[in-house]
Structure 1
Amino acid sequence: MKPAAVILGIAFAGALGQAHSDGWNQFRGANGSGVAKDGRPPVELDDARLAWKIALPPGLSSPVLSRNRVFLTGLAKGRLVTLAVDKADGKIAWQNQTPKVELEKVHKASHPASPSMLVDDDRVFAYFGSYGLLCYNLDGRELWKKPIPTPKSLYGMSTSPIVHGEHLILVLDNDTNLPGSRLSQSKIVAYDKTNGDVAWEIHRPFHRSGWSTPMIWEHSEGTELVVLGNDRISGYDMKTGTQKWFIPGFSRETISTPIAGKNILYASSSKLGGGADIQVDPLPFWEAVNRFDQNGDGKIERKEMTGHFTFPIRPELPPGHPGFGIPLPKDKRRRQERLDGMFRGIDRNRDKFWTKEEFIANMRGGRGK
């Protein structure tokens, strides 16, 4: 893990001053849209335009803004922290430690400080998968905290809290099953933003871990909470949390935040799944796998699946890069079992090797079902 991250003050000091809690108070700005209506960011970033820069504890949260400060999370000396930076000069206004907890296990490309903070009026909220929710005033004084059991997640928690009216809303999708059941403990919870009490919660037993942040969809027929999860996107009543509708067809890995405009909702999911209008070119994936062809015969045997071998997801990246392929267990026995299953899944004729044709046929089969 890198010892420090660096945040750069927007090159025009005025550009950072334009945005405040009304426009960029949560992950991806207003309602997660990624749009700052009156923003005028610089076209180019260079030292001549730099307002300030500062070294910060490492983390993957996105900055959120109040009128005078930038808020982030990080990990410092083994402790999760929330911090505020003054917009004017880049100085740290305050930095608070969370209660000491065991850090959740996360993927190499993720981080225990991934969810972004939320600014609402005179308060700022932070969620950590390892701990739960914390609420501060803008000067860093703790107002309340609420421990939440860490959901079991494939890559680690990254969903960020949002606010609607008096409720702080958090999606807690979970790979852990309900006691004595094959259904999951996934749920959405609305908390009273003044004290952290639960206002309502709705279970999502058919969902597993996900990484999307929810959004509020205001349309001609009302206002709904929209949550993207594995396999489906769902709409919920804002007052009670009751599910009103859902649409299936999404893949296992749902990370992006839905957006909306002119009564139309847009959502996407990553990884192979569904029926794309444009079919993925399988050749780069085969070429990525074929790097492990040790004897040069143009085939992949099980014994050649060594080192950083895994099924590629982003073949343009080098093997060993966290985003290159499907994550595999560190435990040697479990890793070998996973590779055995991966090999059998493509070696349909059981001749003990993959050919290019066999690999490509596997990628093209079963899509859109």
Structure 2
Amino acid sequence: MKQNDVLIVGGGAIGSSIAYHLASDKDFAGRVVVIERDPSYARASSALSASSIRQQFSTPLNIHLSRHGIEFLRTAPKLLDVDLALKEMGYLFLASAAGQAVLRANNAVQRGEGCAVELVEPAELARRFPWIATDGLVLASFGAANEGWFDGPSLMQAFRRAAQDRGAVYVADEVVGLGRRHVDLRTGGRMAAGTIVVAAGAWSGEIAAMAGIALPVEPRRRSVFVFDVRRPPGPTPLTIDPSGVWFRPEGRFYIGGTTPAAGNDPAGAPLEVQHREWDEMVWPVLAARVPAFEAAKVVNSWAGYYDYNTFDQNGIVGRCPAAESVIFATGFSGHGIQQSPAVGRAVAELIAHGEYRTLDLRPFGYERISAGRPIRELNVV
């Protein structure tokens, strides 16, 4: 059984970013192996993401992660030789009277972190975005810079290519057993390593359970609908209605979705589009909020999984206290693709140097879970 320096379980955006940053670190000369059970990435969350990036979070560390992420995306053509079609058109959060206090509190956090985010009253909102029906709105928050969307699948593939170019080895297999310094594979083999990184996205909880570790991460299905309209309303940021329904442009079309209704968000639900969500939840809100969307027609759709952290909806990053050789990088609850550049660099630093250097991710460590100290992210979309 050949000893590897680092085994990464999961070759999506997070796992491949870790491999890339680790293989790029001049102080690290070890062997990196990435185990990915689906090299086609047909069911990978990274490939099925809406691939957006924002700084409008309620948790300062999430803001820092995304700030690093947007800078990385801007330099990706040089660093990774890839055009990610980055479009910085902002996020627009809308609030009713019930959500006004949370929006103001979040804005205070964001402004304190230096974000270019402004609160907008309904009259000004209607002037800036005349396609919005402001009925029921009392406030909005607009990110005037450093927010938008990009080609997430291309980012994931670019990380993978760059990691391989620097010596990382990708193995197409499935982990069926996890030890402190080894993994067992579906094909019957066993691979050993000094460090094992669990970056298996929505399936990370299942992987951790193989070693008797309780990791509160599970797959939660989200449906995304691609729709066409007769008369596009004009320049549109990624907009989140008070109901939770969101939408943004995607080429000549638009995409949108929502959080499933209470009682209809089970863990590990089949990866099938929930068309009733469009009929009963998404379209009625779109038609009322944007009159130009009243005649919207769905032309495509897909479903993907969030690696949903049931504890506090924030990433779980760092060493496992019960097994120091195991590192977690998972549980991002829909924010993984935008946070992959920063998380990849941070975990690589932790492995190569024994500490975080660029961003201190200790607040997102596993210890908060065992201690029952959640860091709640209020802006989960």
Provide TM-score, normalisation by structure 2: 0.22
Structure (1/2) with the larger helix percentage:
2
Provide TM-score, normalisation by structure 1: 0.23
Indicate the structure whose relative CO is greater, using CA pairs within 8 Å and at least 6 residues apart: 2
Query: Which protein is bigger by CA-based radius of gyration?
Result: 1
